[in-house]
Amino acid sequence: MEKPFDMFVISDEVVDEIRSHPTKPHRHEYEEILIITHGKPEHYIDFFKEALTAPVVIFVAQGKVHEFMPDPDSRGWCIRYRNDFIHESNFHFYSNFLDQIHFSFDAGDCRQKIGILCELILHEYRHNPERLEVYRHLLSALLAKLEAEGTHHLPDDKDARTPQRIAFRNFLRILEDNYTRPLGVGFYSEKLNTSSRNLNLVCQKVFGKSVSEIIETRKLIEARRLLLNSPLNISEIGFALGYSEKSYFTRVFSKRTGLTPTDFRAAMQSASS
């Protein structure tokens, strides 16, 4: 996508076009948000496929292989933007630690407010395309509203200054600098000057996962990126992520995705070619 931002309505014409000419799973170099207000679409991302019921928000991080499959009643909006268009959102930040991000939102007042914001953004984009700052600020407001309404394990930043939220954010930042190393819970709890038990309690309360689960998820999300985008072989990727043996890396990866790293690479390259 050459321009920094794009948006369109998921109308009956768009749905008919997608259903008549379905695309293969693909990846793109921008972030995408699908706001579905009606219908029961299916969404496929990195070999995870799920049937969804509106109203639902789907966030697709840059580089993810995905496919959106609407049913005849699916309606809503699609928003696409480059990373340099807007400051990092919670969606972008947490996409490194979650296999997929989608969540439902309230069908009443919340849907109306989200709809108003979407229509405001679309109006400015269509009628004043040169006024980037206007719809950039409107998009920031929409993202804040969507993040506040998230009903999955994406933490809500409205109480971001509580000690637990601060500790959790600090843990993720330390993890981002160290996840390629073969380090356990003790390393991170020591860095945060707390006990392993307390760090696990914080992660479970804020994110619904243990420290070990978050570490493993971060490694495997990066493994999928490397399998797609790098020339490294399977052993080299495993070693780069802190797995000393190819067999152990393959076992962990297969348990999580249902495919060996070799099969995953072949399938994804075929899907996105």
Q: In the chain, where are the structural domains located? A: 5-149, 163-271
Q: What is the pLDDT of residue 13?
A: 96
Question: Using one digit for the tens of pLDDT, what is the confidence trace for 106-149?
Answer: 878 778 899 999 999 999 999 999 999 999 999 999 998 888 77
Neighbours of 34 (CB within 10 A): 23
How far apart (Å, rounded) are the C-alpha atoms in residues 264 and 253? 9
Q: Residue 191, exposed/middle/buried by CB under 10 A (0-12, 13-18, 19+)? A: middle
Beta-bridge partners for 67 = 44
DSSP string for 149-164: H--SS---GGGTTSHH
Full-model pTM: 0.81
Backbone angles phi, psi at 101, to 5 degrees: -125, 110
Asked: is 163-271 a CATH 1.20.1250.20 domain? The reply is no
Q: Which residues in the chain land under pLDDT 70?
A: 150-161, 271-273
For 5-149, CATH number out of 3.30.43.10, 2.60.120.280, 3.40.109.10, 3.40.50.1970 equals 2.60.120.280
How far apart (Å, rounded) are the C-alpha atoms in residues 130 and 111? 28
Q: What is the pLDDT of residue 133?
A: 92
What element of type H or E holds 219? helix 211-229
Q: What is the pLDDT of residue 151?
A: 47
Question: Using one digit for the tens of pLDDT, what is the confidence trace for 240-270?
Answer: 999 999 999 999 999 988 889 999 888 777 7
How far apart (Å, rounded) are the C-alpha atoms in residues 204 and 69? 33
